[in-house]
Amino acid sequence: MSGGELRSRVIRSPHGAAVRPTPGRVKEALYSIIGDKISGARVLDLYAGTGAIGFEAISRGAASVTFVELHAPTAQAIRASAADFGIADRTNVICAPVEKAAQRLSGRFDVVYADPPYALPPPHLTFGTLRTRGSIDDASVVVYERRESAPAFASPGFTTVREARYGEVTLQFLRADA
């Protein structure tokens, strides 16, 4: 982690896992943009990978993070890291496809971060389900990370409020329409 209470802690990752971590400069830029929204926030980290985005959120003052990761060994590594860091009580790890997890989540999230594998299409169904269930609303910050050359997220019920490009990575900031 680069900031906050967990600064310089090392996150576990299973050997051989095909995880594409968000570059450090992108993570720094993300938290520079949404920093004032993190304190006390409920955060949802979709396609969590190592959990770096969610752990950084906790390190910077988020109240809790729900991680959704399909790969079971990687989800277990997130659990182990949370235990190592002494923050397991502030985390929830769901090992399931994000579409299925979105149907089971309860409560509203202040910040949602989605970084799907670049081969996958944008998470239209997942974001739509979260919006319909009230897990995100017009006050939630929704961030979609994509390869710069990939199509932007465009779906009824959402408005792009900002895009930021960092080399090959673009962060698209969305708002669920009221």
| Per-residue pLDDT reduced to its tens digit, 54-81 | 999 999 999 999 999 999 999 999 999 9
Residue located via tokens 């949602």: 112
pLDDT at position 171: 96
Please report which confidence band the pLDDT of residue 1 belongs to, taking 50, 70 and 90 as the band edges: very low
Q: Where are the domains of the chain?
A: 4-13+23-176
Distances 159 to 111, 137, 152, 156, 163 between C-alpha atoms, Å: 15, 12, 11, 8, 11
Does domain 4-13+23-176 fall under CATH 3.40.50.150? My reply is: yes
Lay out the sheet containing 111-114: strands in order across: 91-94, 64-68, 42-46, 111-114, 141-147, 169-176, 158-166
Distances 85 to 34, 93, 121 between C-alpha atoms, Å: 23, 15, 33
Q: How many whole angstroms separate alpha carbon 52 and alpha carbon 27?
A: 9
Query: What's the rounded mean pLDDT across residues 35-55?
Result: 95
Q: pLDDT tens-digit profile of 113-140?
A: 999 988 889 999 999 999 999 999 999 9
**pLDDT at 46 > cutoff 80:** yes
pLDDT at position 10: 62
Query: What 3-state DSSP class applies to 46?
Result: strand
Across 8-12, 68-72, 89-93, 101-105, least confident range: 8-12
**Total-model pTM:** 0.91
**CB neighbours (10 Å) of residue 161?**
11
Please report which confidence band the pLDDT of residue 20 belongs to, taking 50, 70 and 90 as the band edges: low
- Sign of the Cα pseudo-torsion (30, 129, 109, 157, in order): positive
